[in-house]
Amino acid sequence: MSLNERGFSVYTIISIILFLLLVFILALPSFFNLDKTQNEEDCINNMKLIWVASQDYMKDNLTSFNGDLNLLQNTYKKVEAATEGGRAPSRSRYLSKSLQCPENRASKEDYTVFSIFLLEDIQGTQKLNYGTIVACPNTARYPRHFIPKSFYENMEPTEIQNYFIEDLDAIDAATGLDGQRKLNLLMKYIEIWKNDNTALARVRADNAAIRNQVMPPETEVIE
């Protein structure tokens, strides 16, 4: 083999090795789940989809959503009118696919979903009042996996949802990157709404009532 041939072969091998190394480096974040920013965005988008699906389910079916994501995946949306041309309306489910946090796809632990639905009679008029909380199962390790308050601005939230929005934002602000405390307070907040039949009446009288129960304000020390 001539020097030129040998040199060409060596450079070819080096080029191939460098190319494979580049491919490996580019694939590394995805393969080993290292792209935390992307995972954070994907998780928040998952929770937004679940929130919208649960809200739509309650509004369409006039009933509470029990938090079972399989129900949203297996239930078709209600369609009020046929599509153009007289064809039968297209059918789609409230949730088109199974969603898990990108940080735990292997375990497939579901998101925590808590919903309330009320059909209230106000001066002879029936009014829908409902709200949903969606929490990531990995909040303790990834405290930024949290639906931001800004998401709800154009979602036309109901009275109950507005209480949720303000209280969850306060919990998020108070806990910051302390994921375990954030998760503990979220679960405590959900349990109060789940088990206290007076919860709505209490926040109507004082919109900070449950927030203060979950995070008691610091007592001012008078010297």
Residue 26 confidence (pLDDT): 61
Q: What percentage of residues in the chain have a pLDDT greater than 90?
A: 63
203: CB partners within 8 A, 6+ apart: 163, 209, 210
Threshold 0.85, pTM exceeds: no
Distance between CA 177 and CA 31 in Å, rounded?
A: 26
Token readout for 10 is 């060596």
Residue 17 confidence (pLDDT): 76
Residue 221 confidence (pLDDT): 41
Residue 11 confidence (pLDDT): 67
pLDDT digits (tens, 9 = 90+) for 179-201: 999 999 999 999 999 999 999 99
Q: What dihedral do alpha carbons 21, 23, 27, 32 form, nearest 10°?
A: -20
Helices (DSSP H) in 32-123: which residue ranges? Answer: 36-61, 69-74
Residue 68 reports pLDDT greater than 80: yes
Euclidean distance between the first and final Cα of the chain, in Å?
A: 93
Phi, psi for residue 97 in degrees, rounded to 5: -155, 170
Residue the block writes with tokens 């083999």: 1
Q: What dihedral do alpha carbons 189, 193, 196, 199 form, nearest 10°?
A: 100
pLDDT digits (tens, 9 = 90+) for 115-162: 999 988 777 788 899 999 999 999 999 999 999 999 998 898 999 999
Residue 2 reports pLDDT greater than 50: no
| Range in 10-14, 43-47, 101-105, 217-221 the model is least confident about | 217-221
Long-range (24+ apart) CB contacts under 8 A made by 46-50 are: 46/99, 46/100, 46/101, 46/111, 47/111, 47/134, 47/135, 47/136, 47/145, 47/147, 48/147, 48/151, 49/95, 49/99, 50/95, 50/99, 50/111, 50/113, 50/134
Question: Binning pLDDT at 50, 70 and 90, where does residue 60 land?
Answer: very high
Determine the length of the chain.
223
pLDDT digits (tens, 9 = 90+) for 23-48: 666 655 555 555 668 999 999 999 99
Residue 15 confidence (pLDDT): 72
